[in-house]
Amino acid sequence: MAGSPDELHMRKRLRKINTKTTAEEKTATGTTKWEGEPVSPAGQLFHEPSFNCHIISIFGLGIPINNVDAVIEGLQATLVRHPRFSSIPVLDESGSKKVLRWRPVEVNMKDHIIIPSLPSEPTSPSSNDQLVEDYVSSLSLTTMDRSRPLWEFHIINIPTTECAATAVFRGHHSLGDGMSLISLLLASTRQSDDPTKLPSLPPHRAGPLYVLPRPEEGICAFLLWIFSFVVLFWHTLVDVVLFVATTLFLRDTETPLKGHKGMECAKKQFVHRTIRLDDVKSVKNAMGCTVNDVLVGVTSAALSRYLYRKHCETKDEKKFPRNTRVRSTLLVNIRPTPGIHALAEMMEEGKTDAKYGNRIGYMMLQFPIVIHEDPLDYVRQGTAIAARKKNSLEAIASYFNAKLIVKLFGTKALTLHYQSYMNTMKVVMAVDDSVISDSHQLLDDFVESLSVIRTAAEKLSKKN
């Protein structure tokens, strides 16, 4: 299937699926053969008419994809064998309550592999960067046909400054959350030197999000154990109250990062920048914190730098506005991350033991918007913020109110992702360019902020 970005916009809108049961579909017990597991509550939310929620993943490839048949064969042997990728959500009206369920269907791979028509004349890799960026952004405005499984691969065989070709995966959010899909896609790959082996990955969290410590012997240790429960309860209560306050009256400061009402459905521009993971780790080691703590600090520094410049462009005074409130909803995986071996077995043998789907909670994170003389103060603040959030059940509590939270916050003018692989880390942003027209400048602020913080961390290490 081929089509230009403009042609993709002209695809037919979703059509209604006939879900009535025929006589041939009835089994001896009176149930239907296709009746599968219900779509999760979060997955059903993403199917509401007001949402057009997809996950888009971009893969840089070392060589062009000249053998599309090999790609189809590989997907048929892996991804298509997963129940979610060979089913469609249908409305089961047979009972007293309407339930959205997954129904297995035949997968026609030609419907899911898209090779767009792009300029045939060779252009420079730098200009191709913009071409790929525009193409991927066009996907944010199109929907997928719900009469077939809700996923697709786009193959873009043009060289960019970072890769020889690009593959773009787009899947409906009801297929799973980001962690599930990344794990599943990696489980569909094999090592280049040994096609029989799965890729080697760092250890992942195999247990629940929050585990209460066991009490140690002694009255003092027992009292500290009781106190940890009190602190956990208090922090969770405060976080829930802040959510309620946000619902009623607590609003963020009007800044260039805040979008207008209704922009959730506007076109998104996907931009990214590569940074060195070693730079992040050097700050982590110097500060005695975690990678996530460093990233919170870098984000605070970059947003402060961006907003300070915007403020100086529009105001006469150079003084930075105080008490600027900029908050973000941080998505948290609240179930053990499925290992790629478990997911590979699920696809190869039809097992369903691996936990998969949409089980995400939310944390509301306020980024300090301030200009620090010492760049390491951003990391110190980030460490304190992360430590406070780790000692709260906010993510678990918000999971049960996901529908309310998504409707309250939605997808705003700026969505930020950090994705690490090998020794690199990608800073990826989805922005509404009618609100943030200089997204590449904002990426520069992230790179510069990390550079300044790393330099300060190196000086601190030499002193110690």
Instruction: Count the Cβ atoms, other than its own, within 10 Å of residue 333.
Output: 17
CA-to-CA separations, 241 to 165, 252, 364, 436, in angstroms, rounded = 48, 16, 11, 31
**Helices 340-349 and 178-187: crossing angle, nearest 10°?**
70
Q: Cα–Cα distance between 131 and 453 in angstroms, integer?
A: 33
Structure-token pair, residue 277: 């993971």
**341 is known as an active-site residue:** no
Please identify which of the residues 173, 204, 235, 372 carries the catalytic annotation: 173
Structure-token pair, residue 384: 């304190």
- φ, ψ dihedrals at 292, nearest 5°: -65, -35
340 close to 274: Cβ distance less than 8 angstroms: no
Count of residues for the chain? Answer: 464
Kind of pairing, strands 325-333 and 99-104?
unpaired
183 close to 60: Cβ distance less than 8 angstroms: no
217-232: b (≥16 Cβ within 10 Å) or e? eeeeeeeeeeeeeeee
CA-to-CA separations, 7 to 4, 55, 78, 133, 276, in angstroms, rounded = 5, 21, 30, 17, 37
CA-to-CA separations, 445 to 300, 313, 442, 449, 459, in angstroms, rounded = 11, 16, 5, 6, 21
- DSSP one-letter string for 181-230: HHHHHHHT---SS-TTSPPP------S-S--PPPPPSSHHHHHHHHHHHH
| Active-site annotation, residues | 173
